[in-house]
Structure formats: C-alpha cells, structure tokens
Amino acid sequence: MATNPQNDEDEIDDSSAPLIEHLAELRTRIIWSLLAFVIMMVLCYTVWQPIYNFLTQPICHALAGRGQDCQLQIIKLQEGFFTAINISFFGGFALAFPIIGYQLWRFVAPGLYRSEKGAFLPFLIASPVMFAIGASFAYYVILPMAYDFFLGFQQGPLVATSEEATETRQLAGIAFQGSMQEYLNLTLKFLMAFGLSFQLPVLLTLMGKAGLVSSEGLGAVRRYAVVAILVLAAIATPPDVVSQVVLFSVIYGLYEVSIQLVRRIEKRREADLKAQGLWVEDEE
C-alpha cells in the first residue's frame, strides 16, 4: 500500500519536536547554572583573603603549638593570583551547588513519577549536607593531626629550645617554609577526599532504592569493605595510627549506617508490595 510522503514527514517532525524542547530546556538550565556559578565565583574572589585565612587556621595552630610563627611563602610571582582563583573556583561551586541542584531537579522532575520525585529529592538535599559534614570533619579533626605529624620532621636550632640548640649545633636546621598555593592544594585535597567519602551512605542508599544493591549483599561483602576502607585510611591520612583509626572508624560506621538505610528501604518496599497483593515469598 502506498504511503503519503507528506504524512511521513509530519510524523518525523512531530517526533523530533519533544527532543528539541528537551534540548532547549537543558540549555536553559545549563545557562542558569553557569550564571549562578560565575556570580558566586566573583563573590568569592572579593573575599578570598578571609577564606584563605580561615583555611590556614589548622597549620597556624599546629605551628603555634611548637612555638613557631605562622607564615606561608609566595614562591612564584603569580602564585598569589592563582591561589585567589582556586579559592574563587571551589568556593563559587560550593555556593552555587544548591542552585545547580535545583536546576537539575527542574530538568528531571517532569519525567519522574510522584513516587520517584519523593525518592530523588531527599538524596539531592542530603548530598551537599553530607559533603559539608565530611569536609568539616576533615578541617576540625583530621587536619590538625595531619599537620602536626608533618611538622614533626623539622629539626635543629631553628625549632629547638636554647638547650637543645647547644647540643645540636652541628645539625642543619630544618624548618617549615610552606608555599601559599601548595598549602591550599593540600588542604583542599583533604576537604574533597573526606567530603566525597561521606557521600557513601547517600550513594549506597540511592543504589538500594534503585534495586542495584541489597542489605544482605552489602553485609556479605563486609570483610572486603573493611579492607577497602583500611586502604583508603592509609592513603588519605598521614602514616600515624591515631588519624588512620579515626578515619577507619568513621567510614566503617557510615558503611554500617548505609546497610541499615538500605534494609529500611527494603522493608518499606516489601510492605507496599504486600499491601498491593504483589509480594511473592522467596522459596527456600
């Protein structure tokens, strides 16, 4: 049977229209996200020095405990400018993340069912909250221990008492003279590492909600999780037992919390299916 070419062309146009609308919507959301990021980045650039001063408190406290002045060096001429840019970039993204998350939500929400919207939105809110908790844990707990450990490699008259200086006069003095940008990069690595590590409950719970993992499966691989967390603790912290034990305890605790959250989701799903008469008991 012959077909009308005009009708085929109309069908192609109709099918492509939703795609064009989605692309236009995506472009709008990206533009708003970039605009928010640029505005927040400029705002952070105007106050980069107070932000940097706040980030230097852990090293300053560690140096003060050793009777040393807190001072960082500009090794390269452009180092101060790039330090300000780095602070503006990360600070701008952190401040703009709620707006970026809202734009993401507005883009995906029309394609979700009511139940899916109720499941996705809490994770969108919990993610930045858990990141902030992880970064705060790194700043107030891990960084003081880490920097005190690193400063322990100093020696000689420049950091010793007068009696010790007399006994170690022939030793080369080794004192901390940190680079401004190097210190910022190291601090940001710690904050990012712990912020991302604290996403573990959010990630595993979301995977449990999607049916990708189960509480029974997570419990079965617990021994492997312990090994992985031990490796992470050894890499992300200085080689002293205290900080490694602290990090291991926190991350492992988050893993156990994740198992309980996934188990709670499974029980809720089972109750809903039983209420609808769709639940089938597993045969043993």
State the pLDDT at residue 231. 86
The residue that leads in pLDDT, 13 or 109, is 109
Mean predicted confidence (pLDDT) in 79-89 = 93
Mean pLDDT over 93-98 rounds to 88
CA distance to 54, 70, 197, 283, per residue, from 208 (Å): 38, 47, 18, 22
Provide the pLDDT for residue 110: 75
Instruction: Return the DSSP state at 110.
Output: G
Is residue 78 within 8 A of residue 84, CB to CB? The reply is no
Cβ-contact 152, 99 below 8 angstroms? no
Confidence of residue 13 (pLDDT cuts 50, 70, 90): very low
**pLDDT per residue as tens digits for the range 189-239:** 888 888 888 888 888 888 887 777 888 888 888 899 899 888 887 777 666
Q: Mean pLDDT throughout 34-60?
A: 94
139-163: pLDDT as tens digits? 998 888 888 888 888 876 655 555 5
**How high is the pLDDT of residue 60?**
92
pLDDT of residue 14: 46
Q: Identify any residues that bridge with 73 across adjacent strands, giving them in sequence order.
A: 179
Specify the pLDDT at position 243.
73
For residues 234 and 162, give the distance between their C-alpha atoms in angstroms, rounded to a whole number: 37
**How does residue 168 score in pLDDT terms, banded at 50, 70 and 90?**
low
Confidence label for 102 from pLDDT (cuts 50, 70 and 90): confident
d(CA 78, CA 122): 43
